[in-house]
Amino acid sequence: MKAERRRRNDPRREATRTALIEAAESLFAEAGFDGVSTRQIGASIGSANVNVVAYHFGGKEELIREVYRHRLPEIDRRRRELLDEADARGMGDDLATLIRAFFQPLFEQTDSEGRHSYARFIAGLERSGLIATRAEVSGEFPESDLVSDRIAALLDDSLKPFLNVRRRLAAGLFTSALLVIDREAANDPDLAQQHFDNAVLMATAAMAAPAPATLKSRD
């Protein structure tokens, strides 16, 4: 028991785990889940141990969950903070304000190279067909669900059957906007803010747009 406690508290072990998580985040974002091996993840942090991922996490699937747990605590906290600010200003029932509260933490999050690494990771999971894994840790981040539920409550009842797909499409809009920011506005905060503000306006219009009469729910 004492040996296990020492391993958990070993700063070198925790540093290795963090490095592997952030490497996986970056590699999954660029190459997709199936395009990256555990050996590549280990090699990217300079480890000569070909089993380093298996030792710390078991496999790539667990690494996905650990990326969520690495990034979402701060994002979750920030979403609640922005929601409280909206309520204090009497804007807690404004759709654009709530959409901004949900996505602004992704805009604020960047890695050591200034890139929106978590947004890139989410885009990579969508391309790999693994975005549903986010639901596996949903209960650990209730503030994010609270903001999402507040958004849903403002939509017309006729849109409820299409809520899940609209959430995914809105997320895709924002991840694309953040990729554009990384490429074109990384050194121009004003332009980056303009791109993000445009994404908020577009996502608000898209979320609330009437469902075509011919559209059938697939949820």
pLDDT at 2 exceeding the cut of 60: no
Backbone angles phi, psi at 46, to 5 degrees: 85, 15
Question: Which residues, in sequence order, are CB contacts of 37 under 8 Å at separation 6+?
Answer: none
Task: Answer for the pair 203, 170: CB distance below 8 angstroms, yes or no.
Answer: yes
pLDDT digit string, tens, across residues 149-202: 999 999 999 998 999 999 999 999 999 999 999 999 999 999 999 999 999 999
pLDDT band at 8 (very low <50, low <70, confident <90, very high): low
Overall CATH class of domain 2-208: mainly alpha
- Distance, CA of 55 to chain centre: 26
How far is residue 172's CA from residue 122's CA, in Å, rounded to a whole number? 9
The token pair at 204 is 């608000």
User: In the chain, which ranges are continuous DSSP H helix?
Assistant: 2-8, 11-31, 38-44, 52-56, 60-88, 95-108, 117-128, 142-153, 163-184, 189-208
pLDDT at 214: 62
Task: Tell me how long the chain is.
Answer: 219
pLDDT at 10: 73
Q: Which has the higher per-residue pLDDT, 7 or 139? A: 139
pLDDT at 3: 42
Q: What is the mean pLDDT of the chain?
A: 92
pLDDT digit string, tens, across residues 82-131: 999 999 999 999 999 999 999 999 999 999 899 999 999 999 999 999 99
Q: Which has the higher per-residue pLDDT, 219 or 189? A: 189
Q: Which has the higher per-residue pLDDT, 213 or 32? A: 32
The identity of residue 85, as a single letter, is E
Q: Look up the pTM and report it.
A: 0.89
C-alpha torsion sign, points 53, 55, 60, 63: negative
**Domain range annotation of the chain:** 2-208
